[in-house]
Structure 1
């Protein structure tokens, strides 16, 4: 029998206000999630962290599709409700199709995180609501351990509508539901609402393309990763890594990177392209041209920042390296870096309890990300972001204050105040 156990902890709030229900961001009233496979060390259950930025709180209903288990809980404003879910009912296992989804609904907008804190193998992801999901994605993973091919790279897909056809073009050879596919060989899988699939490989699956004829949710990462530079052996201490991937139509062209605190061995960043002939510029680096599905891994020193721009929308992901890189009390995790155009004006987020008892755990906040670590565990995820369709086909529209629409088709939203002044100095007044 699947079960849910409820605990409540204090919530860190950057703002107490609430956004319009029509806003495209990480807040929503419906989420359909899953949990890609993690190591089975203590068979700990994953959790949902749920917060409500609405002063009146929220009534949240959670259903596990594989068992039908259902619970309704009250989420209080200013607090985080932790919902423990039965691992066997929600964890994707192997490279195959299944029904391991979690359905979360609420009477008002909420913020949801998926947390998979296994002993010495923990990470977490920011959940995206169903109203911002898309039909085109590219996976971002990491190299697999040099001495453990049984700890694969992986990505998962969750059906949101019945009768959805998902087409996958893997960047490496994979076996799915007993069938072998070579790198670049497409195959299709039918998913109904709440059905799931996972694709795994003993090689890095970054750049794998996932498209669907109806919106789906996509998560990617590794069962267990070392996260050393790709031209080095993937040896050392490792960790589970996972993020929920934004759809391509929300990707951006400008980013800033921030080093992880306490680290001295640098951080890894991957720029993933969705379109051919994408020109990528990184401060202090030469320009690189990427085609669709290709990526550029950048090793940035721990005392340096980077400005990343591109001619076409890209995905930027930051990776914390193995503890072996510099002896810092942490281990690998991955986190999506929101493009500048998708920065929010307010954030609601929570920290994650880690299991290690080797040393004192710490939690940190950067400009665009929230993360924490302790030897030998860690987690990281965006604190929140807009998900406006700034990379979709665009037609100019009349600006409405705070509508979060790219009215002038420049790849940005709501970048100026309605004050008759050219706030960003581009020669246009009161755009968006």
Structure 2
């Protein structure tokens, strides 16, 4: 049975394990569809013998004030539906008070659906006590004019300092060169955005830049969401909002099994994001006897190693992964199977992979990674839908290290859409798995092998509203991974049922410095940039090129490190900068201030602020400040 209130979300109470908690933060980013939202919240008591009380509240300054109390009786779940546009954070780059807090007197799990029309996605929320202070975001390619990346950061505590480091330029045609304004500061690509949030405030960024690899750090734990407001993977067909809650980096894992939406023939697109330099990702095997691209099937997407993906390098050393002692061996890997090796050079960069439908592949990384899955859209010609149901959705894949023995959740199942749970388990354990206490043999589940891990299998179970609330597995039983997909005509939601737990952390890899040589293609001084060192620039030539640098008057650039000094003039200020390792720009006084008239800028940029009497000049040959 189910009790209903009118308002949007999808709130799920945890049976025993998963992502259980008693306090959650929820925000609903803009989906780019001018329709009222239709979200839902399903609550299932963990203890079936007692009632659970809870509240959904906001600040009194929120655009839509909420103060909802609910009680869930034993054996029932609870749904809260939200349908007011004021509950959605508006378009743009801003700090909003529209943050909801869900608190309960017993542990629950929360599934959030951000939906307007058929434009939506779902995710399992991370409770406040499992939030962290270090994250990387995932978004996606800009496939059409209206596509914008979304990033939200929500604070459960007052006086939380948040720093958002935007990704570096990935190509000369990167879609993120347009500056944007936040609280009086103009920010550019590769900047660090610094804001201070109080309890239940949310920072939202929306930009044409692909925010994948954006780093979020904070002085206190925060909740981070990322995705895109509306997109597709092919540039045609059905489009949708994609959204996922990011797990903190301490939860990242090293071993995974790539899965896909059941009954899909288009396959899935994956991104692998790293937090450490020189990370090796092996797909389909243990990293021995590897020939890149062997066996056909899943292929690499994008310009591998090209200017649009500077962080991706196909591996040419067949033994490099197996020789690294931190690489976990693939369980019972079969020789001769298709295998791919990807290397990611720098923290926050990513590699891409296309998983062919019908294949399930083992993945092992030598350092912790975040794995993002993007479901593909249904092909549409005019009003005619072709091939598989579904549209884009975003899911953070749970690692094998995150496997649990039991999950409990609830979701409102719509008859014309298909609801699946995809299970990844050891072959020896499948006979012990349960759905609501019933063995899976009663569901006619078929199991597929995993390439590179012959002792693992993947199967899916079709669920209906009669299965809600749903319990998978049982306490003390075998551990397995579970991902939920909800697909219909031009619609798909996808979510993991857990974001994992903190993992043992390896020592952070150091970047070895090396001597400078122009054109060597190496980040010699370990600052994340290649060939920007003073050795590699003809200072005299660069300084005399009036079109090389863009000057901005009556503005002052902020940076992580600023060195003030007295220079003879603007040229002297610039010459001092280009002679100093790591200096990428200067602020100079337009008139003699009677003291220091030059500021050397180093570290990451932190925005541009209007300041009369000063000017900013970039020392970079490819300025990001050109309009």
> Is the shorter-chain TM-score for this pair beyond 0.5, marking a shared fold?
yes
- Residues 89 and 257 (structure 1), Cα distance of their counterparts in 2 relative to 1, 3 Å cut: same
Structure 2: tracts of 5 or more residues without a match: 168-175, 285-338, 381-385, 424-481, 509-627
3-state SS in 2 of match to 1:183 = coil
Deviations 1:171-197 (A, max 9, x none): 244524264322211120110110001
- With 208-217 and 278-287 compared, the bigger mean Cα shift is at 278-287
Quick one: distance in 2 between partners of 1:10 and 1:44?
Answer: 15
Deviation at 1:86, TM superposition (A): 5.2
1:17 and 1:72 mapped to 2: Cα distance? 21
Contact 2:374 2:392 in 1 (8 A): yes
Q: Which residue of 2 aligns with 1:80?
A: 77
1:309 positional shift:
1.1
Deviates more, 1:234-243 or 1:246-255: 234-243
Q: Find the counterpart in structure 2 of residue 374 from structure 1.
A: 488
Greater CA drift, 39-48 or 199-208: 39-48
| Contact 2:118–2:240 (8 Å) recurs in 1 | yes
User: Partner of 1:107 in structure 2?
Assistant: 105
TM-superposed deviation, 1:227: 2.5
The answer to which structure, 1 or 2, has the higher relative contact order (CA under 8 A, 6+ apart) is 1
**1:17-416 matches, cutoff 5 A:** 18=16, 26-55=19-48, 56-65=50-59, 66=62, 67-85=64-82, 87-93=84-90, 94-146=92-144, 148=145, 150-171=146-167, 172-173=176-177, 175-177=180-182, 179-228=185-234, 234-283=235-284, 284-324=339-379, 327-353=387-413, 360-367=416-423, 368-391=482-505
Q: Which moved more, 1:335-344 or 1:214-223?
A: 335-344
Larger Rg: 2
Conserved in 2, the CA contact under 8 Å of 1:252 and 1:391?
A: no
Counterparts of 1:39 and 1:83, CA distance in 2: 23
Q: Following the alignment from structure 1 to structure 2, what is the Cα–Cα distance between the partners of residues 76 and 391?
A: 41
Cα contact 1:144–1:224 (8 A) shared by 2 = no
User: Are 2:38 and 2:83, in contact at CA under 8 Å, matched by a contact in 1?
Assistant: yes
- Are the aligned partners of 1:53 and 1:77 in contact in 2 as well (CA < 8 Å)? no
1:98 and 1:158 mapped to 2: Cα distance? Answer: 9
| Equivalent-residue separation in structure 1 for 2:494 and 2:360 (angstroms) | 18
Instruction: Tell me the distance in 1 between the aligned counterparts of 2:266 and 2:126.
Output: 32
Contact 2:278 2:343 (C-alpha < 8 Å) held by counterparts: no
> Closer, same or farther in 2 for the Cα pair 1:68/1:242, shift >3 Å?
same
Structure 1 SS opposite 2:370: strand
Q: Is the 8 A contact 1:53 1:78 kept in 2?
A: no
Three-state SS of the structure 1 residue aligned to 2:158 is coil
**TM-superposition CA deviations, 1:57-80 (whole Å, max 9, x none):** 311111023144211101234443
Q: What is the count of residue pairs matched by the alignment? A: 372
CA contact (8 A) 1:254 1:309 kept: yes
Distance 2:195 2:27 in 1: 17
SS at match of 2:281: strand
| Distance in 2 separating the partners of 1:265 and 1:201 | 29
Counterpart-to-counterpart distance in 1, 2:359 and 2:400 = 18
Deviates more, 1:385-394 or 1:46-55: 385-394
SS in 2 for 1:341: helix
Which stretch shifts more, 157-166 or 172-181?
A: 172-181
Distance 1:113 1:87 in 2: 19
Deviations 1:296-352 (A, max 9, x none): 111110011111111211111111011129721111111111111111111112334
Q: Which runs of 5+ in 1 are unaligned?
A: 20-24, 229-233, 395-432
CA distance 1:86–1:285, change in 2 (3 Å): same
Describe the shift of the 1:47–1:290 C-alpha distance in structure 2 as closer, same or farther (beyond 3 A): farther
Q: Is the 8 A contact 1:48 1:84 kept in 2?
A: yes
Residues 270/164 of structure 1: CA separation in 2 closer, same or farther (3 Å cut): same
SS of equivalent to 1:310: strand
CA RMSD of aligned residues (A): 2.6
Per the normalisation by structure 2, the TM-score is: 0.56
